[in-house]
Chain A
Amino acid sequence: AQSVTQLDSHVSVSEGTPVLLRCNYSSSYSPSLFWYVQHPNKGLQLLLKYTSAATLVKGINGFEAEFKKSETSFHLTKPSAHMSDAAEYFCVVIPTGNQFYFGTGTSLTVIP
C-alpha cells in the first residue's frame, strides 16, 4: 500500500525562525516526492520535487527538503520564515507513476 503522512496538521513559527514541516511516506518502490503550497482559495503551486537524483532538493522561496530512504521521510525546511510563507503545505508521493497521493496538509502560521 502507498500512503503519505504529514505528521503535523498545524505548525506555528515566529517570523525569522526556522520552519520544519514533516512528511513520511510508505512505498514499495523508490517514489517521486513533491511538496506543494496552497494559499487561501488558490490552486496548488509546486515548491520542489525529488525524482531519485540528489537527496537534498532545493525549491522556490528558500525551501528545501531532504529525502531519507532509511527513515522514509521527506521533511520540508526553511532557515528563516517570512510572513508570506503562511499557507497550507501538501506532501505528495507518486509510488511508480499513474496517481498522486496527497497528505492531509499542514497549515503554517507565521507570527510577526
Chain B
Amino acid sequence: DGGITQSPKYLFRKEGQNVTLSCEQNLNHDAMYWYRQDPGQGLRLIYYSQIVNDFQKGDIAEGYSVSREKKESFPLTVTSAQKNPTAFYLCASSLRAQENTEAFFGQGTRLTVV
C-alpha cells in the first residue's frame, strides 16, 4: 500500500539530546513537509523540500534540521537548541509543490522531553 510512514509513534528525549524523527513515503511525491502541532495553534511549518537535495525553512525552523538525500525520505532532527520541543510532529508529502495538489499525511510522532 502506498503512503507515508512516520516512526516512532511515541518518542521520549532527555533535555540536551538531539533526536531524529523518521518520515518515509512510497508515493513517488516530489514535495515533503514537516509540521509541528500544539494544542490550539493548528499546524506550523518547520521545513519543506520540493526536490531531492534541496529544502527551505518554514515559519519555525529554529532548533530543527532536515536532510533530503533520497526522494522517499525526509528525516527531521530536533536539536538541543529547540527550547520547547514537546509536541506532535506531522510529516506530509504532495505530488508537486507547484501544482496545487493535496498533501498526504503520516500518522505523526509525539515527542516528549523528560
Contacts and interface: CB of A to CB of B under 8 A. Distances in A.
B64 interface: no
Interface in B55-114: 88, 90, 92, 97-100, 102-108, 110
Interface residues of B, number: 26
- Residues of A contacting B: mostly: loop
A24 interface: no
A90 B102 CA distance: 13
A26 interface: no
A49 B42 contact: no
A51 B110 contact: no
A81 B90 CA distance: 27
Interface string A91-105: 010101111101111
B2 interface: no
Given A100-B33, A104-B41, A43 B102 contact: no
A102 B35 CA distance: 10
